[in-house]
Amino acid sequence: MSLDGIVTRSIIHELNEKIVDGKVDKVYQPEEDEIIINIRAKGSNAKLLISASSNNPRIYLTKHTKSNPIKPPMFCMLLRKHLQGGRITNIRQSAMDRIIHIDVQSFDELGVLSTKTLIVEIMGRHSNIILIEEENNKILDSIKRVTPDISSVRQVFPGILYKEPPSQDKLNALFIEKNTLLEKINENNEGTPLFKFIYKNYMGISPLIAREICYRAEIDSSTKLGALSDEMIDGFFSSFSDLMEKVKYEKYSPTMILDREKREVVAFSTIDIKQYSNYSKTHFDSISEVLEEYYETRDRMDRIKQKSSSLKKLITTKLDRAKNKLAKQKEELLTAEKREKYKIYGELLTANIYRIEQGQNEIEVDNFYSENNEKITISLDPRYTPSQNAQKYFKRYTKLKNAYEFVSNEIIHTKDEIEYLDHILVSIDNCTDVEELEEIREELIDEGYIKKHSKKKKKNKGKSNQSEPRHYKSSDDYDLYVGKNNKQNDYLTLKFASKDDIWLHTKDIPGSHVIIKTKGEEVPAQTIREAALLAAYYSKGKMSSNVPVDYTERRNVRKPNGAKLGMVIYENNNTIYVTPKIEEINKIKELDY
């Protein structure tokens, strides 16, 4: 996904409306490759975020505040010297490229009015923020200096003249002409896919927009140029022209496409994206709002992914160990189940002790414990007396008997541990914020799965620091609550729910506790089904069909003594089978808790 030339044009349109003629109040550099400019414009304050990050280069108006280093970096100090107190006179784009020029007029140390230009180049890993003197095009400095030993193609450092990045000989998409389009089609390889032809030959067009043009023209985006008929080319040109006409005359519709199942942004643009009919679409009033939502969400999900991966790895390792332990315990149990034969051997040796001579390796005796009194051969240790050989078998029997009782109890504990760790993995997948992951980490510390770092101060466990369960509203107007982790599950079930509320959980599958607030009324079948869909979706069985979900009144659910967080037992339940399809989940209205 990229911030393309069309999005860049809409950003400039918005910035010209909101901050041109504004006064630069303060400049900050919270990150090595990011600056924030506070601007006083049109009677209000605005914050312009500019990032030259290799992964997420961007520019937009932000409402968020970031902490700044105690000592400002050199580039920040330079910007403060030349821009603070200055007036933004113009913001423009280089053709349809992702290069933005921000002109700031201010008085220098000698009291002379001059213009400095802040250039923002959004070019992936080559992104940069450069300050130049507008009069002579000389570079004052850049957030990333590019010296000859870094690049022989283009340098960016103080004292040299600023030159734009090398041209890729692309056409300006704002001025598309049919004859030129036909010439370009003839020049390109007939096997080139249409969507690739568009973004390779027209400036400002990303693969997303190229596919959108094809979609609106009702042409498969992978269609090869050689397979295009005259009618298809006419439709494609018309679709392309119509879309660029809206861009040219700044008729924007900032849009974000969401995949709610994966909880991630699929696409965003400043035009109405129509190709993703199976996803959730949200329109915004401002392109800055779209970009802030996207990059904040992406940043949050990246942090969650980064923090959760280590937790997942730790839990998965412990889960594998517990499963291996269970397999060995079951083998030990099978061995212990054969203990009766050793008791029989001891008794048969005792009954035939007069026939045994020391030094024998074995003896054949009548097995009076069998139905046919059949013969049986018993091994002997020639080093031992007959009595000692009998005692050896009795001791082995006693040892296996004790082992059977011990291993049986250990198997119960190991199965409980496996169930608990499975619940933890589901809880990690259900996290939507870093704070929720921290709660899981604290739980694992309390349970002894993670070592506690004594140097870290214990967090205040007041209510304000606790994460909140998901809150939905059923189609029958009943409140549904879903726990995201074991701590929330315990809270919902044991403290939040009333005795006559309905409690739901997937049958024998790790997952979230779900509560239906009954309001003292009989709950409709549709509400129970919707709550069951949520229970199945937020469980390990979310990708399965016909997932069994148990439900009962909260009064029938209790927590055994010594049970871990989120672990309960229940009775007097009914079971409903549901398939948690994302389309149905999206129809259940989610509210703030």
Check residue 55 and give its pLDDT: 82
* String of DSSP letters for 176-202: --HHHHHHHHHHS-TTSBHHHHHHHHE
pLDDT, block means (10 residues), the chain with 593 residues = 88 96 95 95 94 91 88 95 96 94 90 94 94 95 95 94 89 92 92 94 94 95 94 95 94 88 80 88 92 81 78 90 91 84 89 89 88 87 91 90 89 89 88 81 86 56 65 94 92 94 95 94 95 94 93 95 90 95 85 67
User: Which pair of tokens denotes residue 365?
Assistant: 């005796």
User: Does domain 171-287 bear CATH number 1.10.8.50?
Assistant: yes
Give the Cα-Cα-Cα angle 225, 231, 236 (nearest 5 degrees): 60
Q: Which of 279, 261, 304, 280 is nearest to 537 (CA)?
A: 261
Regarding the domain delimited by 5-142, which CATH topology (the fold level of the hierarchy) does it fall under?
A: ibrinogen binding protein from staphylococcus aureus fold (2.30.310)
Check residue 281 and give its pLDDT: 87
The domain locations on the chain are: 5-142, 171-287, 314-454, 468-591
Check residue 463 and give its pLDDT: 44
Name the packing angle between helices 434-446 and 386-430 (round to 10°): 160
Check residue 456 and give its pLDDT: 47
The two most distant CA atoms of the chain are separated, in Å, by: 123
Q: Which residues contact 42 (CB under 8 A, 6 or more apart)?
A: 18, 21, 22
Q: Please tell me the number of Cα atoms within 13 Å of 421 on its side-chain side.
A: 22
Check residue 262 and give its pLDDT: 66
User: Which pair of tokens denotes residue 375?
Assistant: 């013969």
Alpha helices in 434-540 (DSSP H): 434-446, 486-490, 525-537
Check residue 260 and give its pLDDT: 67
Check residue 8 and give its pLDDT: 96
Between the two ends of the chain, the Cα-to-Cα distance in Å is: 32
User: Which pair of tokens denotes residue 75?
Assistant: 């580039």
φ/ψ (deg, to 5) at 499: -65, -30
Check residue 301 and give its pLDDT: 72
Identify the DSSP state of 146. Answer: B
Q: Quote the CA–CA distance of 16 and 21 in Å, as a whole number.
A: 9
Pairing of strands 128-133, 139-142: antiparallel
Q: Do residues 582 and 260 make contact, with C-beta atoms less than 8 angstroms apart?
A: yes
Pairing of strands 202-203, 171-172: parallel
The percent helix, strand, coil of the chain (3-state, each to 5) is 40, 25, 35
